Structure 1
Amino acid sequence: MAQSGSPRYKVVVCRNLGPDVMPLLESRHELELVIWPEDRACNRKWLLENIPGATGVIVMLTDKVDSELLDKAGPSLRTVSTMSVGYEHIDLKAVSKRGLKIGYTPDVLTDAVADLSVMLALMAGRNGGIGYSLVLNGGWPNFSWAPFGLCGPQLSTTVLSPTRKVGFIGFGRISQATLSRLVPFGITHCLYASNPSSPPNLQHDAELQSKYNLKAVLKVDLDELARESDVLIVLAPGGPSTYHVVNEDFLRKMKKTSVLVNTSRGTLVDSDALAKALREGWIWGAGLDVVEGEPNVPKDHPLVKEPKCVIVPHIASATLETRKHMATHAAQNLIAAILGGDMPAQVDLSAFSLIPPC
């Protein structure tokens, strides 16, 4: 127990972090917790009403941290801890100006996102959305089997198709974890495009090529990436530099049998252009965990209306293990920032305009 008269620090928590993680906060008697009581996104009005005088706040991706919120919090605020790897919802200039510490949760969701990337590649290529809808809507009994009905391009190599090229937009830890999962399918080439200002790491690429017995691991330009990739997986950071990097011009260069997967940020893919590409057959299919403007993706959304587009509602990190780990890091970041110690992961605000690679 904290001694009588010892300081207590108000902490606002924008979502209950569950029975495995909340005790980390509740056991710290120096902290006075104010917890959003409902099992839904934190109400902005509630947050603005409760943030004054807080020393720390734990937020989700849905909670915007801007000058309005920071001004309401006042000079007592020391830290913002977000239960996410991305921090586009945080005004980094504003928090840097106030000298705050920002905690986030990188690395812990690498495997979960890589797993889902492969799942979406398989579902999009093998008409998983169409097949599932056929059964769900009761159409299977009346479906007429045909030799090439519901066929799609095979992800793995075959005697007739001995070459398979996977492409990545962004080639950070999640892309490389995804590559490791695709290697057993017989992937022969890995192509990637990343920050044009960063030179290729030839030694690292050669090590990956040797490790996975690939014919090539190459950094290429976007045109070559579009033309050559059988499966193209978008795993790059968001922001102005990558906005609509997959646009109509890019999609028109892709193979008619290629599959596009996006498990990073919805803003990287032009939804209207992708819907047109699917509708007119420029590419085979798409698997999306993220869509620009989400969660405002109603049933009449252009991509929802495309049968060859498989969409799941931003669940790439949604494993029990990953979310528990993310919540734990968010709590530990806050505790360290307020009570002392090393934060598991702190945003470098000296380069606040940069988004960490996926």
Structure 2
Amino acid sequence: MSVSGMSTVHPKTLTPKVLVTSPNIPKIGITFLEDNGCHVTVVENATEEDVLRHIAGVDALLVLAPVKITRAVLDAAGSNLKAVSALSAGYDHIDVQELKRRGIKLGNAPRVVNAPVADLAILLALAAARRLHEGRLKIENNEWDRLHYQWILGQDINNSTVGIVGFGGIGQAIAKRLKGFEVRQILYTGHREKPEGKSLGAKFVSLDTLLRDSDYVIICAPLTKDTEDMCNEEFFSKMKKTAVFVNISRGRVVDQPALIKALKTGTIFAAGLDVMTPEPLPPDHELLKLPNIVLTPHRGIATVETENTMALLAAKNILKCLAGEEMLHPVV
């Protein structure tokens, strides 16, 4: 059977087995695989132990974090495994080098995440700048002073300079949205200058220049050996005291104790985080005790439309690979 122009699985592959590593993957992706001749097993709990109980002999994995695809997981799968498809744009939870070594194909679901994650980045920037969490605390503690309002003055985004660290699809989507807020200047930094920067009116600068000049610093860089703990004490010391820090990439890009210190001491004005370390964050964590921070639980892509689109794309990656074709979005 073929759906939406997709090829059916290769005739040599009789009823290929697909393991879905999380019960949270939208049904549309699972149904699509089943309608195209696959036998699909969905683990009950998104844990490595549960995955290991079901993984032997599967032909493909449909993967959603927090489950990590490690050498041990691949060993347990066996030699039948041909495809791994991530229901995400990032794949730092997957041992890419080990997949390469074994000749297993990896696909992901990029671009579709750009819009919802960019929307959340703007939301966090505005919420932190306008002190939404602190204001809510004042209400809860019966400290809403209507006569004196200096305590809740925030920072403007119009006529501000916004610095974006990492100017891939998400960074560019953020830049597009910033136009509507009449910002004065958009700066970005990364490995190289990009042609999209000029079309978006964004200026390529060094990291030091970006930190020095920006009223908002938004982190969009992927987690790599070079970016891990990139946002450290020295990083925050170079920012304006009135600056707002936003992270929608990965928690480990930030040296979290350094961020907490910067927020406590007034080195920076406020922060908005969708990602942190660890995840889930313990309810007694120091971040939750700070008034000048806005937190969301790593839900940048959490809209119904986005999740459904990603699940369908991840499923199509698997079918393409099992049919002997290139994935729609191959990584390796």
With the length of structure 2 as denominator, give the TM-score of the two structures. 0.91
Is the 8 Å Cα contact of residues 272 and 302 (structure 1) preserved in structure 2?
Answer: no
Q: 2:231 matched to 1:246?
A: yes
Q: 2:200 aligns with which of 180, 195, 208?
A: 208
Counterpart for residue 310 of structure 2: 326
Q: CA deviation at 1:341?
A: 3.9
Instruction: Look up the match of 2:95.
Output: 91
1:109-151 CA distances to partner (integer Å, 9 max, x unpaired)?
100011000000000000011122334x3x34x5222131311
Answer yes or no: is 1:148 the counterpart of 2:144: no
Q: Does 1:24 align with 2:32?
A: yes
Does the CA contact (< 8 Å) of 2:30 and 2:40 recur in 1?
Answer: no
Match of 2:293 among 296, 303, 309: 309
Counterpart residue number, 2:104: 100
Report the Cα offset of residue 342 of structure 1: 4.0
| Aligned-pair CA distance for 1:18 | 3.0
Aligned partners of 2:197 and 2:95: how far apart in 1? 35
Instruction: Work out whether residues 124 and 287 of structure 1, in 8 Å CA contact, stay in contact via their aligned partners in 2.
Output: yes
Residue in structure 2 matched with residue 174 of structure 1 by the alignment: 170
User: In the aligned structure 2, how far is the partner of 1:307 from the partner of 1:319?
Assistant: 27
Which runs of structure 2 are paired with 1:265-284 in the superposition (5 Å)? 265-284=250-269
Residues of 1 paired with 2:93 and 2:307: CA distance? 19
Alignment match, 1:355: none
Please give the alpha-carbon distance, in whole angstroms, between the structure 2 residues aligned to 1:85 and 1:204. 20
What is the identity, as a one-letter code, of the residue corresponding to 1:143? W
Q: 1:60 aligns with which of 50, 59, 64?
A: 64
Corresponding residue of 2:16 = 9
Q: Is the 8 A contact 1:51 1:73 kept in 2?
A: yes
Residue 292 (structure 1) shift? 2.6
Cα distance, 1:205 vs structure 2: 3.4
Say which SS state the counterpart of residue 58 (structure 1) adopts: strand
Cα offset for 1:264?
Answer: 0.6
CA drift of 1:204 comes to: 4.3
Match of 1:235 in 2: 220
Q: Quote the offset at 1:104 in angstroms.
A: 0.7
Quick one: structure 1 residues 34 and 20, their matched pair in 2 at CA, closer, same or farther if it must change by over 3 Å? closer
The farther-off stretch of 95-104 and 145-154 is: 145-154
Number of the residue aligned with 1:35: 42
**2:4 match:** none
CA RMSD of aligned residues (A): 2.0
Q: Residues 117-156 of structure 1: matches in 2 within 5 Å?
A: 117-135=121-139, 137=140, 139-140=141-142, 142-145=143-146, 146-156=148-158
Distance (whole Å) between structure 1 residues aligned to residue 218 and residue 258 of structure 2: 17
Output the amino acid matched with 1:22. Answer: I
Kept in 2: contact 1:274–1:303 (CA 8 A): no
Q: Which runs of 4+ in 1 moved over 4 A?
A: none
C-alpha distance in 2, partners of 1:66/1:12? 15
Letter in 2 for 1:169: V
CA contact (8 A) 1:337 1:343 kept: yes
**How many residues are aligned here?**
322
The partner residue of 1:258 within 219, 226, 243 is: 243
Spell out, residue by residue over 1:94-117, the C-alpha distance to the aligned partner (whole angstroms, 9 max, x if none): 111110111111111100011000
Query: C-alpha distance in 1, partners of 2:83/2:261?
Result: 44
2:161 is aligned, of 159, 165, 168, to 165
112-121 vs 167-176, greater mean Cα deviation: 167-176
Question: 2:5 matched to which residue of 1?
Answer: none
Percent identity, aligned pairs only, is 37
User: Residue 45 of structure 1 aligns to a residue in which SS?
Assistant: helix
Q: Any unmatched runs of 5+ in structure 2?
A: 2-7
CA distance in 1, matches of 2:265, 2:326: 53
Residue equivalent to 2:270? 285
**Structure 2 SS opposite 1:256:** coil
2: CA distance between counterparts of 1:326 and 1:8?
23
User: In structure 2, what is the Cα distance between the partners aligned to 1:96 and 1:206?
Assistant: 36
1:207/1:45 CA distance change after superposition, 3 Å: closer
Distance 2:279 2:131 in 1: 23
Q: What does the per-residue CA deviation read over 1:191-210, in whole Å, with 9 as the maximum and x for residues that have no partner?
A: 11102xx3x24x5433322x
Q: Give the secondary structure class of the aligned counterpart of 2:124.
A: helix
Compute the displacement of 1:10 (Å).
1.6
> How far 1:13 moved relative to its partner?
1.3
AA of the residue aligned to 2:293: C
